[in-house]
Structure 1
Amino acid sequence: MSETAKWYVVHTYSGYENTVATTIEKHVENRNLRDLIHTVEIPMETVTEITDAGSKTVERKVFPGYVLIKMVLTDETWHLVRNVRGVTGFVGSGTKPIPLTEEEVAGLGVEKRKIEVSYEVGDTVKIVDGPLESFMGVVEEIALDKSKVRVVVSMFGRETPVELELDQVEPVSH
């Protein structure tokens, strides 16, 4: 059994996600298992729905029927989660839960990664990833809350603002 906490996906009956998450949180508090079960998440997204009555913003589950749990997998934590009403099982092969990979966790955006930014507005940066890789540009705006940076790149004799992830650019040392 693993000693470090990993993200696991738990399958639930449709509509039971909140109940399952709340029940697991209560068990964690009651049994003092915070060191084993760290986080229980239901990934949500904010969506603007456009209807005849106009548009409204709603919170929607990204994966209906699933709850993500960051925990250390032991017999005790497995049984606790598995025996919660509404849980149909862990996602994995057979009875063994399979943790999410680092790439999957990053892709889901459930763990906020702190990115150290070593450049500021006005600095010249090199794009190190994506379709504009190896292009140079000047930082126009940094949005840490969204993990985005806007860089003005000179393409075909035109100044073009491009929005990139913070880690897609690096400062150019003079």
Structure 2
Amino acid sequence: MSELQEARWYVVHTYSGHENKVKATIEKAVKTRGMEDCITQVVVPTEDVVETTKTGKEKTRQRKVYPSYVLIKMIITDESWYIVRNTKGVTGFVGPGSKPVPLSDDEVIAMGIDLESNKVVNGETDLEVGDNVQIKNGPFSGKIGTIEKINMENKTVTVCLDAFNKKTPFEMDIDSIERI
């Protein structure tokens, strides 16, 4: 293995419904074998979907963006390939003859992965702690607040609003705010 080799993103096909289990198993194997330098990140891309229940209430749930697929940032070595390929629930790498083919930078960006931070994001990469934002929907629609915390993994932000006669933090979806 070359010292200059850089980790690239690969797509792994899994049994339906086994994505999170595969992710956890690979992360555990990487930690156990001390291979954090070869397999740097395992991601199951999800998005928040708002559904209306039979009673008319809106409910937000997470949905897998690519069902039956897991994205892995890794350097292909015999051992890293073996760990991923022999994980229970993995059917193989996406590529000709199950030969791992790395994603191009354009494909990685199209899948919603920010190349700078290597986090899966929902298009809102320009938000920062301290930014003033306006709430677009919900009970605080139209209110202006300040971002205190950003959780890109869950696609949520904590916004401090002037409510109840004091500064109050509220956690909300990243899609429900806009920078002003």
Under a length normalisation based on structure 2, what TM-score does the superposition of the two structures give?
0.62
Q: Which consecutive residues of structure 1, in runs of 5 or more, have no partner in the other structure?
A: 115-142, 147-174
CA distance in 2, matches of 1:93, 1:100: 13
Count of residue correspondences: 118
Matches within 5 A, 1:13-162: 13-53=15-55, 54-111=57-114, 113=116, 144-145=126-127
- Secondary structure, aligned partner of 1:28: helix
Q: Which moved more, 1:104-113 or 1:26-35?
A: 104-113
**C-alpha displacement at 1:110, in angstroms?**
2.1
What does residue 9 of structure 2 align with?
7
Q: Which moved more, 1:105-114 or 1:12-21?
A: 105-114
Q: Deviations over 1:81-101 (max 9, x none)?
A: 000000000000013111111
Under a length normalisation based on structure 1, what TM-score does the superposition of the two structures give?
0.64
**C-alpha displacement at 1:75, in angstroms?**
1.1
Aligned alpha-carbon RMSD (Å): 1.8
**C-alpha displacement at 1:112, in angstroms?**
5.1
Q: Which amino acid aligns with 1:92?
A: G
Q: Which amino acid aligns with 1:145?
A: L
CA distance in 2, matches of 1:106, 1:83: 28
Q: Deviations over 1:133-161 (max 9, x none)?
A: xxxxxxxxxx8229xxxxxxxxxxxxxxx
Q: Which consecutive residues of structure 2, in runs of 5 or more, have no partner in the other structure?
A: 118-124, 129-180
CA distance in 1, matches of 2:116, 2:110: 12
Larger Rg: 1
CA distance in 1, matches of 2:95, 2:127: 34
**C-alpha displacement at 1:6, in angstroms?**
0.4
Q: Which runs of 4+ in 1 moved over 4 A?
A: none
Q: Which amino acid aligns with 2:126?
A: L
